[in-house]
């Protein structure tokens, strides 16, 4: 345990800076750039190789594969974009196979909480604005939107391209950045 209250390592600081910048860009533009993914991947592999050349590089590459494998089924179902898949894979280079599973689990829980909060806020807004007769149709519309977005890839592409995307989509890099902050804070506390 550290004598100081809260000390981030160089690696933690770098990962936090990268994830924060990517989350900010995803929040503003609903896009994770290939340049950010490639830079994150290359920096992560260099960092992993700097620990122990062959073992570190192998763990970094295995982390990339695990990160990719964790999100590719959700991409196939239409729940995330290709940028999200590439982003988690690139973070796998920093965290390795076990660490990226932890990042995935924490960020998935956070994403679930954000989704439930979003649904609750929309429902509260509908109750306040919609007359009682039209409320059932609005609620049915949200249910249909949710089920079709998961089952129909074309539907999520339509939502992504629409002006209403801010009210329906949650940028994946945001819960990932919050999850990374939680994980790195836990590490910094020496727990």
- Say what the pLDDT of residue 36 is: 95
Give the pLDDT band of residue 150 (cuts 50, 70, 90). Answer: very low
Residue 4 lies in a domain: no
Measured CA to CA, the distance from residue 186 to residue 191 in angstroms comes to 6
The answer to whether residue 3 sits within a structural domain is no
- H helices of the chain, in order, are 10-29, 34-51, 53-76, 82-129, 132-151, 153-161, 165-168, 173-188
Residue partners of 170: CB distance under 8 A and separation at least 6: 111, 114, 115, 118
**Cα-to-chain-centroid distance, residue 180:** 10
Best CA proximity match to 104, nearest among 131, 122, 84: 84
pLDDT in tens, 110-128: 999 988 888 888 777 666 6
54: in domain: yes
* C-alpha distance from residue 169 to each of 81, 107, 172 (Å): 11, 15, 9
Range of the domain at 180: 10-188
pTM: 0.77
pLDDT tens track for 49-85: 997 778 889 999 999 999 999 999 999 988 888 999 9
For 85-97, how does the pLDDT look when each residue is reduced to its tens digit (9 = 90+)?
999 999 999 999 9
What's the total number of domains in the chain? 1
- For residue 158, is it within any domain? yes
176 in any annotated domain: yes
């Amino acid at each position: 345990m550290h004598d100081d209250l809260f000390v981030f390592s160089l690696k933690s600081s770098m990962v936090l800076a990268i994830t924060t910048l990517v989350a900010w860009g995803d929040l503003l533009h609903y896009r994770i750039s290939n340049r950010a993914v490639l830079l994150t991947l290359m920096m992560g592999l260099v960092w992993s190789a700097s620990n122990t050349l062959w073992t570190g590089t192998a763990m970094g590459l295995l982390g990339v594969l695990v990160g990719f494998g964790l999100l590719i089924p959700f991409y196939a179902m239409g729940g995330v974009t290709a940028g999200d898949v590439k982003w988690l894979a690139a973070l796998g280079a920093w965290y390795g196979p076990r660490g990226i599973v932890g990042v995935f689990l924490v960020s998935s829980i956070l994403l679930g909480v954000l989704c439930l909060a979003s649904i609750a806020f929309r429902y509260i807004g509908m109750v306040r604005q919609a007359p009682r007769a039209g409320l059932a149709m609005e609620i049915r519309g949200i249910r249909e939107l949710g089920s079709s977005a998961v089952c129909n890839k074309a539907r999520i592409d339509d939502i992504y391209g629409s002006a209403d995307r801010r009210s329906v989509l949650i940028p994946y890099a945001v819960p990932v950045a919050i999850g990374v902050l939680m994980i790195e804070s836990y590490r910094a506390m020496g727990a």
